[in-house]
Amino acid sequence: MTETQKILVLHVGLIALLFALNFILPAYHHGNLARVMVLATYAIGYNVMLGYTGLLSLGHAMFFAAGMYGMALSIRHLGFAPAPALLVGIASGAGLALVVGLLALRTAGVAFMIVTLMFAQTVYLTILLAGRWTRGDEGFVIQQHERVLWGIDLSDPSSRYLAALTLFAICLFATLNLIRRPLGRVFVAIRENEERARLLGYNVFRAKLFSVVISGTISAAAGASYGLLFGYAGATFATVQYSIFPLLWVLLGGTGTIIGPFLGALFMFYLIDLSSGVTNAYMLIAGVALVVLVMFAPQGIAGELRRRIWSWLP
Amino acid sequence: MDFGPYLMLATLEGAVLAAVLALMASGLSLVFGVMRVVNVAHGEFYMLGAVLAWWVTSMVGGGPAVAFVAALIVVPVIVGALAAAADMTVLKRLEYDPERTIVATIGLLYILQQVTLMTYGADARPVVPPFNTRLALPWLEWSDGGLHMFWPWGLSTTTYKLFVIVAGIVILSAVWAMMRHSRIGLLMRATQLDSEMAQAFGIPVERVYALVFGIGAGLAALAGVLIVPIQQAHYLMGGDALLLSFIVVIIGGLGSLAGTIVAALLIGLSDGIISVFFSPTLAKIIATLLVAFVLVFRPQGLFGTRDR
Amino acid sequence: MSVILSTHGLTRAFSGHVAVNAVDFTLNEGEIRALIGPNGAGKTTFVSMLIGRIAPSAGRIRFEDQDVTDLPAHLRVSRGMAYTFQITSVFGQLSVEENVALAARRRLGRDRVAVRAEVEHALARVGLTDHIGQTAQDLSYGHQRLLEIAMGLAQRPRLLILDEPTQGLAENEIAAFKTLIRSLVPDTTILLIEHNMSVVMELADRITVLNFGEILAEGTPVDIHANPLVQNAYLGSG
């Protein structure tokens, strides 16, 4: 088998496995996995920046929230149907990413991290400030009859699962394709050595801006879908915690790998799910995981797989 | 109340906030200045200071004053030692790589916060101030062709609040004197200028780092101890405090102690006044945007000069 | 002979210290020019301004009859300049092939066949064909230097600036390097910072000597070799 074939077999196999699980999983895990796939999509978006371009953002919740609120507010206040509402959500995230990218990319490293953190905090506070429309922390429910997309009722567990899988598969293969194309190769070049990439004649600022916009758009798509599939939008999804989560998932799963975000989101979701049965301090797990990962396994799960067995893993 | 007395009251309240903020932010600034480490867990050291102050004062007998003095001495040492241990076990192993250190301090943030939640719980608890006499303040007004002193209703402060302001000034002067005039301060400044060179000259850089990280956290803990008789101790109180210190440190110019103190005064004093005109949320939005724009367009801070 | 690159009054000061002082410099199309001078003479600062890594404090740069002083580095590269780093600066985690492909792809775009052909061609010229699949950081230091040069070649530049290319190369690799550079002219103009005097003397058509940020002398290798000022500068600097 050539490397390309191996890559296809692995990723198509993952999607096929997830599809098959739709018919056999018990209800509880079925619902969890639907959630994990949407969150993994969010992590895939995050990974475009962190894993493939070397840009560490601490504010991705703003893109997730932009997608979620762009979608939910246009349903609630403008009476949009789900399909155009989804588009509004994705476009909000893309627009926000463009603006944030244009500003934040003037900085690098630690300053970039703090700038993204501050912009995300601004978005969160704005959601609270506009409580009249967003209902702030409390959030609001999107009614079942508002969640019928092309005749499919997204509140039905199986449709919801398959919709989440569709979103996940699209974003997985889109990023897989991206990193094999010239633009994606330039992202990796910037991650490896920004100055060298510039002196090979690449417009590094523009490439990074593309990366931020692609990353923000995928994150927004995840946020909009999350709101639509689970019928709720709330300011919690814009908090710092939701900016830290994708970082955690990607670090755990493996930065700069295509399946890493999914593995990380899956493991961390169940880790927190299990521990929240024992204690209300479930974020302790996240904290310990961050420290342990950054100290002992900066490659993450898929990174270790690549190092030890599958050197071809993209 | 008239505007004049009201402004005086807001200024006094602002000075209390400024003193606490200056302590906390100078710890953050010291750590960044010497070690080039952005300590995201800094707010949790402040929270630990407040929570441990509650713990110490409830353990020690002999009246609120004795208990409080005990807390003031013991708590920063405990928190400082904890931070130094975290530096030696975690940050040192990461070789102070900027991005990985930030991720590690985020992890540390959640560990400290959640362990506090598991042990101390989710309640907010007060600490009795060592002394708390209410002081009515006079106001001068020109009337009937002469200057008259009177005592407007509501214009007052407490001895404890004045104590916090004075304590802030004393502690910061001590820190400044330590950096300028002591041997350990010299070692820190040498390490700050060029850690490799310092190492080559036989300065124990690793120990200096652990000490700096400990002192930085100790300053945050001191701020926590000082604030807890005014504000109750709660496991989530670190978040807002961290945000405010970030604002102060970035506006003041990263790593500059003088700039940090000026910015703390500015933010502390304006906070009370801004909240008169805007909702607190809007004030926070303006502050976070200000930080972002300062970093984007004036990375040396509002008062700093470009050092390249 | 037409001029490919010229500078007028090019100056760079770092907080008071003038690294390059009002340099007027002309490079003819198709020549091999060596830039030499004692350590700290401002050679790397000078070429960094030419390629756009450092902005000049004063002065202008013209490339192929156009003023490029205000252009960012990547646009100068797309107009036909290329630069290889003094400190090896390859993409360590990527394969040798991908390193060179990145250099070729900016010009050739999505044409995979053309990129592949260019990569093979460039690697063959520096003798790294056998290492095409290796990860760049696993190469020996000398091979990384050659990879760096291959990346310069794959850009097919009009002007190739090489910053100490032979540093760390073995004797036989230096000989191959000299042959390679000679085969590039006159299509490509070469500007070479070099410490190895035998390389300079054998390769360069003309030599420019920088000292304390100023041009001390310029001429053929024979002229420079006999120039008392130059000998003085080198001996004087120890």
CA distance A68 to C34: 60
pLDDT of residue B1: 56
CA distance C213 to C42: 5
pLDDT per residue as tens digits for the range A1-13: 788 888 888 888 8
pLDDT of residue B254: 66
Distances (CA, A) of B35 to A270, B64, C120, C192: 37, 38, 46, 40
pLDDT of residue A273: 83
pLDDT of residue B131: 80
Chain C residues in contact with A185 by the CB 8 A cut-off are 98, 101-102, 105
Chain B residues in contact with A58 by the CB 8 A cut-off are 102
Q: Is residue B175 part of a domain?
A: yes
A32: part of which helix (H) or strand (E)?
A: helix A27-53
pLDDT of residue A93: 95
- The contacts of residue A58 (CB under 8 Å, 6+ apart) are A113, A114, A116, A117, A120, A240, A243, A244, A247, B102
Angle between helices A300-308 and A260-275 (to 10 degrees): 130
pLDDT of residue C235: 57
pLDDT per residue as tens digits for the range A82-100: 889 999 999 999 999 999 9
Do A171 and A41 touch, CB atoms closer than 8 A?
Answer: yes
Average pLDDT over residues A152-169: 88
The CATH number for C236's domain is 3.40.50.300
pLDDT of residue B307: 42
pLDDT of residue C238: 40
CA quadruple A88, A90, A96, A99: dihedral, nearest 10: -100
A226: part of which helix (H) or strand (E)?
A: helix A204-230
pLDDT of residue B296: 87
pLDDT of residue C237: 47
Do A115 and A219 touch, CB atoms closer than 8 A?
Answer: no
Q: Is residue B55 part of a domain?
A: yes
Residue B52 Cα to chain centre, angstroms? 16
Where in the sequence is the domain holding B160, given as residue range(s)?
Answer: 14-125+156-236
* Average pLDDT value over all residues in chain A: 88
Low-confidence ranges of chain B (pLDDT < 50): 306-308
Per the structure block, which two tokens stand in for B236?
A: 């989530």
- Nearest chain C CA: its distance from A311 CA (Å): 12
Average pLDDT over residues A270-293: 82
> What residue in B sits closest to A59 (Cα-Cα)?
B292
Chains within contact range of chain B (3+ C-beta pairs < 8 Å): A
Q: Considering CB atoms only, which of B107, B282, B296 is closest to A287? A: B107
Q: Considering CB atoms only, which of C51, C94, C98 is closest to A199? A: C51
Percent of chain A with pLDDT over 70: 100
Q: Is residue C165 part of a domain?
A: no
Q: Is residue B33 part of a domain?
A: yes
Q: Is the pLDDT of residue A107 over 70?
A: yes
Q: Is residue C213 part of a domain?
A: yes
Query: Along the 238 residues of chain C, how does pLDDT read in single tens digits?
Result: 688 999 999 999 887 788 888 889 999 999 999 998 888 888 889 999 999 999 999 999 999 989 999 999 999 999 999 998 877 788 888 889 999 999 998 888 888 889 999 999 999 888 888 888 888 888 888 888 889 889 999 999 999 999 888 888 888 888 888 888 888 888 899 999 988 888 888 889 999 988 888 888 888 888 888 888 887 777 554 4
Q: Is the pLDDT of residue A61 over 90?
A: yes
Domain extents in chain A: 3-239
CA distance A84 to A224: 11
In chain C, which residues touch A (CB < 8 A)?
51, 53, 72-74, 77-78, 82-83, 85, 89-94, 98, 101-103, 105-107, 109-110, 151, 155
Where in the sequence is the domain holding C31, given as residue range(s)?
Answer: 1-80+193-238
- Nearest chain B CA: its distance from A110 CA (Å): 7
* A272 and chain B in contact, CB less than 8 A: no
pLDDT of residue B272: 63
Among candidate residues A84, A49, A88, A48, the one with its CA nearest the CA of residue A68: A88
Q: Is the pLDDT of residue A219 over 90?
A: yes
Average pLDDT over residues A222-229: 93
Q: Considering CB atoms only, which of A118, A283, A286 is closest to B288? A: A118
Across the interface, whether the CB atoms of A290 and B110 are under 8 A apart is answered: yes
pLDDT of residue C1: 65
Per the structure block, which two tokens stand in for A188?
A: 């990796």
Residue with tokens 């627009």: A95
Residue A17 one-letter amino acid: L
Interface of A with C in 157-216 (CB under 8 A): 181-182, 185-186, 188-189, 192-193, 195-204
Q: Which of A58-72, A109-123, A162-176, B75-89 has the lowest mean pLDDT?
A: A109-123
Q: Considering CB atoms only, which of C92, C93, C106 is closest to A200? A: C106
Angle between helices A82-104 and B280-297 (to 10 degrees): 50
Q: Are strands C206-211 and C32-36 parallel, antiparallel or unpaired?
A: parallel
Mutation target among B244, B296, B298, B306 for the A interface, most CBs of A within 10 A:
B296
Q: Is residue C220 part of a domain?
A: yes
Q: Is residue C183 part of a domain?
A: no
A243 backbone dihedrals φ, ψ, rounded to 5°: -85, -30
Task: Tell the burial category of C58 from Cβ atoms under 10 Å away from its Cβ (0-12, 13-18, 19+).
Answer: middle
pLDDT of residue C227: 84
> What residue in B sits closest to A247 (Cα-Cα)?
B103
